[in-house]
Protein backbone atom coordinates (compact mmCIF):
# COMPACT_ATOMS: atom_id res chain seq x y z
CA UNK A 1 0.00 0.00 0.00
CA UNK A 2 1.35 3.42 -0.97
CA UNK A 3 0.51 5.45 2.14
CA UNK A 4 1.53 8.74 0.54
CA UNK A 5 -1.00 8.29 -2.28
CA UNK A 6 -3.64 6.85 0.03
CA UNK A 7 -3.60 9.74 2.50
CA UNK A 8 -3.32 12.33 -0.28
CA UNK A 9 -6.83 11.44 -1.46
CA UNK A 10 -8.55 9.73 1.49
CA UNK A 11 -11.01 11.70 3.59
CA UNK A 12 -12.18 10.57 6.98
CA UNK A 13 -11.46 10.55 10.70
CA UNK A 14 -8.22 9.45 12.34
CA UNK A 15 -7.63 8.24 15.88
CA UNK A 16 -4.15 7.97 17.40
CA UNK A 17 -3.78 5.62 20.37
CA UNK A 18 -0.82 5.68 22.78
CA UNK A 19 -0.07 4.25 26.21
CA UNK A 20 2.25 5.41 28.96
CA UNK A 21 4.96 3.29 30.58
CA UNK A 22 2.36 1.74 32.92
CA UNK A 23 0.04 0.79 30.07
CA UNK A 24 -2.59 3.49 30.65
CA UNK A 25 -4.12 4.10 27.23
CA UNK A 26 -5.11 7.37 25.60
CA UNK A 27 -6.88 7.90 22.28
CA UNK A 28 -7.22 11.20 20.45
CA UNK A 29 -8.63 12.44 17.16
CA UNK A 30 -5.86 13.33 14.69
CA UNK A 31 -5.84 14.34 11.05
CA UNK A 32 -4.13 12.27 8.39
CA UNK A 33 -0.43 11.70 8.98
CA UNK A 34 2.27 13.37 6.95
CA UNK A 35 3.86 10.62 4.83
CA UNK A 36 7.49 10.86 3.71
CA UNK A 37 9.16 9.29 0.67
CA UNK A 38 10.94 6.73 2.87
CA UNK A 39 7.59 5.38 4.12
CA UNK A 40 7.78 6.95 7.58
CA UNK A 41 4.86 8.99 8.88
CA UNK A 42 4.70 11.96 11.22
CA UNK A 43 2.16 13.86 13.29
CA UNK A 44 2.31 17.36 14.74
CA UNK A 45 1.78 17.09 18.50
CA UNK A 46 1.47 19.56 21.34
CA UNK A 47 2.49 18.94 24.95
CA UNK A 48 -0.59 16.92 25.81
CA UNK A 49 -1.21 13.33 26.88
CA UNK A 50 -0.37 11.74 23.51
CA UNK A 51 3.01 13.50 23.43
CA UNK A 52 3.64 12.65 27.10
CA UNK A 53 2.92 8.96 26.52
CA UNK A 54 5.37 8.80 23.62
CA UNK A 55 8.18 10.01 25.89
CA UNK A 56 8.07 6.74 27.84
CA UNK A 57 6.53 4.31 25.33
CA UNK A 58 7.43 4.68 21.63
CA UNK A 59 4.57 2.52 20.31
CA UNK A 60 1.30 3.87 18.92
CA UNK A 61 -1.57 2.85 16.65
CA UNK A 62 -3.39 5.02 14.16
CA UNK A 63 -6.87 4.09 12.94
CA UNK A 64 -8.28 5.89 9.90
CA UNK A 65 -11.99 5.48 9.07
CA UNK A 66 -12.80 6.71 5.57
CA UNK A 67 -15.81 8.96 5.15
CA UNK A 68 -18.72 7.29 3.40
CA UNK A 69 -20.87 4.21 3.74
CA UNK A 70 -19.50 1.05 5.26
CA UNK A 71 -16.22 0.46 7.05
CA UNK A 72 -13.30 1.32 4.83
CA UNK A 73 -9.98 2.51 6.11
CA UNK A 74 -6.72 1.36 7.56
CA UNK A 75 -4.85 0.76 10.80
CA UNK A 76 -1.17 1.56 11.22
CA UNK A 77 1.02 0.07 13.94
CA UNK A 78 3.78 2.59 14.64
CA UNK A 79 7.05 3.03 16.52
CA UNK A 80 8.43 6.49 17.28
CA UNK A 81 11.87 7.02 15.77
CA UNK A 82 12.53 10.74 16.35
CA UNK A 83 11.01 14.13 17.00
CA UNK A 84 11.76 17.66 15.87
CA UNK A 85 11.09 21.05 17.43
CA UNK A 86 11.37 24.54 15.98
CA UNK A 87 12.05 23.31 12.47
CA UNK A 88 10.99 25.02 9.26
CA UNK A 89 9.32 21.70 8.40
CA UNK A 90 6.84 22.18 11.28
CA UNK A 91 5.81 25.58 9.93
CA UNK A 92 5.43 24.11 6.44
CA UNK A 93 3.30 21.19 7.67
CA UNK A 94 0.98 23.19 9.90
CA UNK A 95 -2.51 22.93 8.44
CA UNK A 96 -3.73 26.50 9.08
CA UNK A 97 -6.87 26.23 11.20
CA UNK A 98 -5.55 28.88 13.61
CA UNK A 99 -4.14 32.34 13.21
CA UNK A 100 -0.40 32.53 13.93
CA UNK A 101 -1.18 34.21 17.26
CA UNK A 102 -3.66 31.50 18.30
CA UNK A 103 -1.17 28.84 17.22
CA UNK A 104 1.65 30.32 19.36
CA UNK A 105 -0.70 30.68 22.36
CA UNK A 106 -1.31 26.91 22.33
CA UNK A 107 2.37 26.25 23.03
CA UNK A 108 5.20 24.45 21.25
CA UNK A 109 4.62 21.87 18.54
CA UNK A 110 6.63 18.74 17.93
CA UNK A 111 6.92 16.84 14.68
CA UNK A 112 7.01 13.22 15.82
CA UNK A 113 8.21 10.66 13.24
CA UNK A 114 7.22 6.99 13.23
CA UNK A 115 8.32 3.84 11.47
CA UNK A 116 5.31 1.94 10.15
CA UNK A 117 5.61 -1.55 11.62
CA UNK A 118 2.40 -3.01 10.17
CA UNK A 119 -0.56 -1.94 8.04
CA UNK A 120 -3.92 -3.61 8.54
CA UNK A 121 -7.32 -3.00 6.97
CA UNK A 122 -9.88 -1.22 9.13
CA UNK A 123 -11.83 -4.46 9.54
CA UNK A 124 -10.22 -7.90 9.71
CA UNK A 125 -6.76 -9.20 10.28
CA UNK A 126 -5.30 -9.44 6.78
CA UNK A 127 -2.10 -7.45 6.52
CA UNK A 128 -1.91 -4.89 3.72
CA UNK A 129 1.27 -5.01 1.61
CA UNK A 130 3.80 -2.27 2.39
- Domain presence at residue 54: yes
- pLDDT exceeds cutoff 80 at 52: yes
The continuous run of DSSP H or E covering 103 comes out as: helix 100-105
Domain region containing 102:
3-121
In a domain, 129, yes or no: no
Segment 74-126, tens digit of pLDDT: 999 999 999 998 778 887 777 677 787 887 888 899 999 999 999 999 998 77
Determine contact, residues 61/17, Cβ cutoff 8 Å: yes
Assigned domain for 37 exists = yes
Count of domains in the chain? Answer: 1
Query: Looking at residue 95, what is its pLDDT?
Result: 65
Domain at 28, CATH number: 2.30.110.10
Q: Answer yes or no: is 128 within a domain.
A: no
Q: What is the pLDDT of residue 130?
A: 45
The more confident residue out of 58 and 89 is 58
Q: Is residue 11 part of a domain?
A: yes
Residue 127 in any domain: the answer is no
In a domain? residue 130: no
* 38: confidence class by pLDDT, cuts 50, 70, 90: very high
Domain membership of residue 113 (yes or no) is yes
> Under a CB-based contact definition with an 8 Å cutoff, are residues 45 and 112 in contact?
yes
Amino acid sequence: MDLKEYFKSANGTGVLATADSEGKVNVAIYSRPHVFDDGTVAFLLRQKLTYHNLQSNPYASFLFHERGPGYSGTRLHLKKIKEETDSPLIAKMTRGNLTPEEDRAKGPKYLVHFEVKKILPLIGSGQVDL
